[in-house]
Amino acid sequence: MRHSAAKNAAYRSGIITAVIGAVTISGCTTPFDQADEKALQRQLLSSYTTEIDAIAEGPVIELQRTPSDVVEELSIERAAELNSISGIEAYREDELILGQNLLGNETQLAVQLTLQQAIELAVKNNLDLQTARYTPAITETQLTQAEAFFDANFFFNTAYTRTADPNFGNTFAGQEGASLQEQYNFQTGINKQLITGGQVTTSTSLDHTHSSFGGTTSNFFEGNITVNLTQPLLRGFGADINRANIILARNALESARQNLRMQLITLAAEVEAQYWLLSFNKQALLIQTRLLERTINDRDRLQERANFDVNPVRLTEANSFVELRRADVIRTRQLVRDSSDQLKQLINSPELPVANETLIIPVDWPVDVPLQFSLLDAITTALQNRPELQIALYNIKDASIQQRVAENGRLPILNVTLGSTLSGAEANNPAAGYGDIFDLDFVDYIAQINFEMPIGNRGPDAFYQQSILARKQSVVAYQALAQIAVLEVKDALRELLTSYELIGATRAARLAAADNLRAIEEQEAAGVALTPEFLLDLKLRAQERLADAETQEVQSLINYNNAISTLYEEMGTLLHRDGIVFENYLTAPLTPEPLLSR
């Protein structure tokens, strides 16, 4: 079936929206008016509209397998019989024999675990993820620091000054002698940065001056209230410029959260891949163990005929088969233990420490259910949900903000300062001196303009050009990531198609090999001569072909399940598929402080 025209338009709109968001997203109050902004939009759109149009009419595809002649020729009864002696279902009751562990025990301690349980444990306990969770928390404190720049500051200053001057040879009012002056100053107030770029300061002070000269003393108090405002009019002016660090910090926080989401997706994919690897190694061990048992049984039957028609050469050949298959069992045992430990390391459960020899037994079996997919759906979902693309969008946003700041930095400095001071003074009475302020008898004013501009302005101009290039670079980087996303989604879909088809091919091969071995065993039961050629060249090799076919079928099933997980990972929706709500995880409390850091 095909999409309707309206649905195609909606998907095309979704992709275009995801792409042009890279250049239209902006956190500045003042909109950009760059000459090449539209050119960048056209560059992004043109690079995707052609590809979108090429797949817009693509159908929704359901996975299919080419029918096998081998399977079609089998009756229902014969297929059921062959499945009972081969394939995954035939091993459900087999004992998993792992031999001696590192503690010297033959008896294995095992814990059964579903895939969902493994993922949930990893999300809760994985050490790398716990480390990554601190990054958004740290970045959030940096946002608070940026916002705190505009917090009001309270200040208090006090000073004492004593000045003694001999004044010898100097006369004043007919007097001659030493002078002494003592000053006490108390000042307090509040200053605050304004989002317009200015700074306002309000303060009050009380000065106490005691002086003596030639036997004359004076003692008075002076109070002041001062208000000052300094405001840039060109460089440094505007809320968008002065709030740039806050917006950059907020973008950094969102990028850190998206990076955490990306690590969470990666962890879920790793856990699933490791879970299926453990499942494959477990099944491979069961297959190899059964093959070894069959080979030993046939070798023993040849030994019973050693005095009749089996020569030593054929017997040693049978022994070589046994030992080769025993070696395969030994190697596969190690793979089971190794993959179990690697899964334990990922989930980091306190009940399953890596140092412990407890084995994880996977409970879930790989699924063999055909999926439906649309290339357009998958690409649209990836462009809208992949964390690295969201981070790239924030990088473009940051570069745009920095360009705006750099553009403002090209302007000359033109600052205006306005201030006023109300004063009052009174001898011997601090309260009266401070109260005289409001009589408005002594009012000072200041108005000042400062202008500064580098000759040639080369430094700010170069920095502005650098910011333009950095923004263009961030857009190209987004394009490259989007292209990689499209490529990886297509690769995942092709792997999905291939692995699903391979299940059918390997299953048919396994059924054929099982049918061949069944026919040989029927001949043996009917009384065919048990010659060395029959047992070695025919039966043992048929057993080996069946074991190889069974292993390949299991591998194709595992590959298919991994392909499903990879597709959701590449689309950025694996967390939703695994039932993990990222927002809940993001707001969950951090783990307790490690003991070593206390």
Q: Rounded to whole angstroms, what are the CA distances from 52 to 338, 374, 375, 486?
A: 45, 13, 10, 11
Q: Which residue has the tokens 């080996």?
A: 544
CB 227 within 8 A of CB 419: yes
What is the structure's pLDDT at 182? 82
> Do residues 266 and 341 both lie within one domain?
yes
Split at pLDDT 50, 70, 90, the class of 283 is very high
Antiparallel, parallel or unpaired: β 110-113 and 359-362: parallel
> Which 3 state secondary structure label does DSSP give 190?
strand
Tell which phi-psi region holds residue 58, choosing left (phi > 0), alpha (psi between -120 and 50) or beta.
Answer: beta
CATH of the domain at 353: 1.20.1600.10
Residue 513 structure tokens: 């090999």
> Do residues 427 and 319 both lie within one domain?
no
- What percentage of the chain exceeds 90 in pLDDT? 51
Q: d(Cα 347, Cα 341) in Å, to the nearest integer?
A: 10
What is the structure's pLDDT at 519? 84
pLDDT tens per residue, range 542-572: 899 999 999 999 999 999 999 999 999 999 9
Q: Is 20 exposed, middle or buried (0-12, 13-18, 19+ CB in 10 A)?
A: middle
According to DSSP, residue 277 is labeled H
> Do residues 516 and 546 both lie within one domain?
yes
Q: Among 90, 501, 130, 79, which residue's Cα sits nearest to residue 346?
A: 130
Residue 497 structure tokens: 């198609």
What is the structure's pLDDT at 595? 37
> Do residues 170 and 218 both lie within one domain?
yes
CB 206 within 8 A of CB 221: yes
- Of 14-23, 52-61, 75-84, 233-242, least confident by mean pLDDT is 14-23
CB 507 within 8 A of CB 90: no
Distance of CA 304 to the CA centre of its chain: 64
Domain extent, residue 351, equals 61-133+262-394+467-590
According to DSSP, residue 364 is labeled -
Amino acid sitting at position 147 = E
Q: d(Cα 258, Cα 456) in Å, to the nearest integer?
A: 43
- How many Cβ atoms are within 10 Å of 76's Cβ, its own excluded? 7
Total count of domains within the chain: 2
Q: d(Cα 109, Cα 128) in Å, to the nearest integer?
A: 27
pLDDT average, residue stretch 338-358: 92
* Mean of the per-residue pLDDT values of the chain: 84
- Of 159-168, 174-183, 470-479, 560-569, least confident by mean pLDDT is 174-183
Domain annotation covers residue 274: yes
Tell which phi-psi region holds residue 187, choosing left (phi > 0), alpha (psi between -120 and 50) or beta.
Answer: beta
Split at pLDDT 50, 70, 90, the class of 592 is low
What is the structure's pLDDT at 371? 87
> Do residues 281 and 341 both lie within one domain?
yes
The most confident of 3-12, 214-223, 261-270, 423-432, by mean pLDDT = 261-270
Residue 443 structure tokens: 């009012």
Phi, psi (5° rounding) for residue 85? -110, -5
Domain annotation covers residue 244: no
DSSP string, 341-360: HHHHHHH--TTS-TTS-PEE
Q: Which residue has the tokens 């809760």?
A: 124
Question: In the predicted model, is pLDDT for residue 113 greater than 70?
Answer: yes
- How many Cβ atoms are within 10 Å of 261's Cβ, its own excluded? 24
The residues pairing with 222 across neighbouring beta strands, listed in sequence order, are 207, 425
What is the structure's pLDDT at 143? 94
CB 60 within 8 A of CB 1: yes
> Do residues 381 and 269 both lie within one domain?
yes
Domain annotation covers residue 45: no
CB 547 within 8 A of CB 287: yes
Domain annotation covers residue 303: yes
Question: In the predicted model, is pLDDT for residue 358 greater than 80?
Answer: yes
Q: Rounded to whole angstroms, what are the CA distances from 210 to 221, 411, 422?
A: 9, 50, 22
H helices of 410-457, where? Answer: 430-435
- Of 39-53, 309-323, 448-462, least confident by mean pLDDT is 39-53
What is the structure's pLDDT at 28? 37
Question: In the predicted model, is pLDDT for residue 527 greater than 80?
Answer: no
pLDDT tens per residue, range 398-429: 999 999 999 999 999 999 999 998 888 777 77
Domain annotation covers residue 241: no
> Do residues 435 and 388 both lie within one domain?
no
> Do residues 371 and 506 both lie within one domain?
yes
Split at pLDDT 50, 70, 90, the class of 17 is low
Half-sphere exposure of 397 (CA within 13 A, CB side): 24
Name residues whose C-beta falls within 8 Å of residue 217's C-beta, 6 or more positions apart in sequence: 210, 211
CB 263 within 8 A of CB 460: no
This model's pTM is above 0.75: yes
DSSP string, 67-121: PPHHHHHS-HHHHHHHHHHSSGGGGTT--------TTS-SSPPEEEE-HHHHHHH
Residue 126 structure tokens: 């994985």
What is the structure's pLDDT at 440? 75
> Do residues 501 and 421 both lie within one domain?
no
What is the structure's pLDDT at 30? 40
* Radius of gyration of the chain measured on its C-alpha atoms: 41
Q: d(Cα 99, Cα 326) in Å, to the nearest integer?
A: 12
Q: d(Cα 562, Cα 554) in Å, to the nearest integer?
A: 12
> Of 334 and 59, which is predicted with more confidence?
334
Q: Rounded to whole angstroms, what are the CA distances from 560 to 104, 280, 283, 381, 502?
A: 37, 12, 16, 21, 9
Print the SS3 string covering 473-497.
HHHHHHHHHHHHHHHHHHHHHHHHH
Split at pLDDT 50, 70, 90, the class of 52 is low
What is the structure's pLDDT at 598? 34
- Of 19-33, 137-151, 255-269, least confident by mean pLDDT is 19-33
What is the structure's pLDDT at 209? 84
> Do residues 286 and 311 both lie within one domain?
yes
Domain annotation covers residue 51: no
Domain annotation covers residue 248: no
Amino acid sitting at position 133 = R
The residues pairing with 156 across neighbouring beta strands, listed in sequence order, are 188
Q: Rounded to whole angstroms, what are the CA distances from 160 to 157, 207, 234, 243?
A: 11, 10, 40, 40
Helices (H) then strands (E): counts for the chain: 17, 10
pLDDT tens per residue, range 75-85: 888 888 888 88
Domain annotation covers residue 12: no
Q: Out of 402, 422, 452, pick the residue that ends a domain.
A: 452
pLDDT tens per residue, range 444-488: 899 999 999 999 999 999 999 999 999 999 989 998 999 899 999
Question: In the predicted model, is pLDDT for residue 372 greater than 80?
Answer: yes
DSSP string, 430-454: HHHHHHGGGGTSEEEEEEEEEEE--
> Do residues 482 and 574 both lie within one domain?
yes
Q: Note the residue count of the chain.
A: 598
> Do residues 316 and 340 both lie within one domain?
yes
pLDDT average, residue stretch 302-310: 72
